[in-house]
A = this chain, B = another copy of it.
Amino acid sequence: MYSFKNDYSEGAHPNILQALVETNLVQESGYGEDQFTQKAIELIKSHIGRQNVDVHLIPGGTQTNLIASSSFLRPHEAVISADSGHINVHETGAIEATGHKVLTVSTKDGKLTPELIQEILDIHTDEHMVKPKLVYISNSTELGTIYKKDELVSLSEFCKENDLIFYMDGARIGSALCSKENDLKLTNLPDLFDAFYIGGTKNGALIGEALVICNDTLKSDFRYFIKQKGALLAKGRLLGIQFVELFKDNLFFQLAEHANQMAEKLAEGLKEINVPFLAESPTNQIFPIFTNEQVAELQKNYAFEIWEKVDKNRTVIRFVTSWATKEEAVEQLITDVTKLVQK
């Protein structure tokens, strides 16, 4: 049984474990005031090319989203998201649990546009309705798609014009930035977003997301919110050490590139034998369509997500690759699918 279920099936990249072992007995301050966290923050600032941002290391993605949203918004303000957005579907109402409505628009590719946001603004006009305030996007999206730079520029300008906070969930920003179709750089992000996070968990870390707050008005007292939601680790070094490893050289990008290459190889292998896809995805999640019988057969040797039904007989499934995906496993999967399809 080999798993293409997600990008967190294995532990951490060996460099990270090595660093944890080597630094283990160094005494450090708690709660993110250790030297490793400080070093990680400096490295991240350097990679994004900006010093006047605040960087906070937070254990998980749902946590980062809920802490950021609830600290940035006043009680009557709402989040705008694609209806496929992670905060809308797969966080068990975490945003609402902090008191805020998530307003959604339907999209084909998981991506927001100024026009879609304008529709929300048009119908929220007075105090009988929530006030739309924070625009949430994920990049890459839950459907594996990515935003091109000009799409983000127009969204960013739209948000500024409409006094909206522009926020990016970067759980898979590594994969997005290393996509063949990508034209965005890490150094563009501070100009585009009021805040965003760089995901570690889905790109080789054990845990950890680096939240970057660019807008000065959102920075104050942020550590209070991290603590109040239970996300200020006593041994904050665990986060710091990992992000130092990811960003002291280019490990973060190397890992994402490997994940993308494995996905691309897999997609190309399947396309060659005419397996259809739900949509084009240039990142580490791909969505092929199989008959229900083929799916059942594949499940005997592979773990993956059932995504949705196409019709009575066919099903979309999701294959995810990661920094740890073995090339032989991809090749074996292509071989196995080939046999299956050609039966």
Chain A residues within 8 Å of B, Cβ to Cβ: 2-3, 5-6, 8-12, 14, 17, 20-21, 23-31, 59-67, 70-71, 74-76, 78, 89-94, 96-102, 127-131, 201-202, 206-207, 221, 223-235, 237-238, 303, 324
Residue in B24, B29, B62, B231 whose CB lies within 8 Å of A12: B24
CA–CA, A65 to B2, complex, Å? 37
A257 to chain B, nearest CB (A): 19
Query: Hey, which chain B residues are within 8 Å of A6, CB to CB?
Result: 30, 234
Query: Hey, which chain B residues are within 8 Å of A130, CB to CB?
Result: 92-93, 96, 224, 228
Contact in complex: A227, B101 (CB < 8 Å) = no
Query: Hey, which chain B residues are within 8 Å of A92, CB to CB?
Result: 76, 127-130, 224, 227-228
Copies of this polypeptide in the complex: 4
Contact in complex: B233, A207 (CB < 8 Å) = yes
Contact in complex: A94, B17 (CB < 8 Å) = no
CA–CA, A2 to B25, complex, Å? 12
Residue in B12, B75, B202, B231 whose CB lies within 8 Å of A71: B75
Known: A75-B97, A202-B234. 14 other contacts (CB 8 A): A3-B27, A5-B30, A10-B26, A11-B25, A11-B238, A14-B24, A27-B303, A61-B234, A63-B231, A71-B75, A96-B130, A97-B229, A127-B226, A128-B227
Contact in complex: A93, B66 (CB < 8 Å) = no
Contact in complex: B21, A9 (CB < 8 Å) = no
A251 to chain B, nearest CB (A): 15
Query: Hey, which chain B residues are within 8 Å of A226, CB to CB?
Result: 127
Given contacts A92-B128, A93-B228, A227-B92, contact A27 B8 (CB under 8 A): no
| Chain B minimum-CB-distance residue to A326 | B25
CA–CA, A12 to B11, complex, Å? 16
Residue in A11, A64, A221, A238 with the greatest tally of chain B CB atoms within 10 Å: A11
CA–CA, A91 to B129, complex, Å? 6
Contact in complex: A206, B235 (CB < 8 Å) = yes
CA–CA, A6 to B97, complex, Å? 33
Given contacts A21-B17, A24-B11, contact A78 B59 (CB under 8 A): no
CA–CA, A227 to B129, complex, Å? 9
Query: Hey, which chain B residues are within 8 Å of A61, CB to CB?
Result: 230, 234
Residue in A20, A74, A102 with the greatest tally of chain B CB atoms within 10 Å: A74
Contact in complex: B76, A93 (CB < 8 Å) = yes
Residue in A75, A99, A101 with the greatest tally of chain B CB atoms within 10 Å: A75
Contact in complex: B228, A60 (CB < 8 Å) = no
Given contacts A25-B10, A25-B324, contact A127 B233 (CB under 8 A): no
| Chain B minimum-CB-distance residue to A64 | B230
A199 to chain B, nearest CB (A): 10
Query: Hey, which chain B residues are within 8 Å of A21, CB to CB?
Result: 17, 21
A231 to chain B, nearest CB (A): 7
A302 to chain B, nearest CB (A): 11
Contact in complex: A62, B227 (CB < 8 Å) = yes
* 11 CB < 8 A contacts A-B: A10-B26, A25-B324, A60-B231, A66-B230, A67-B230, A78-B93, A92-B224, A93-B101, A98-B99, A130-B228, A131-B224
Query: Hey, which chain B residues are within 8 Å of A5, CB to CB?
Result: 29-30
A132 to chain B, nearest CB (A): 11
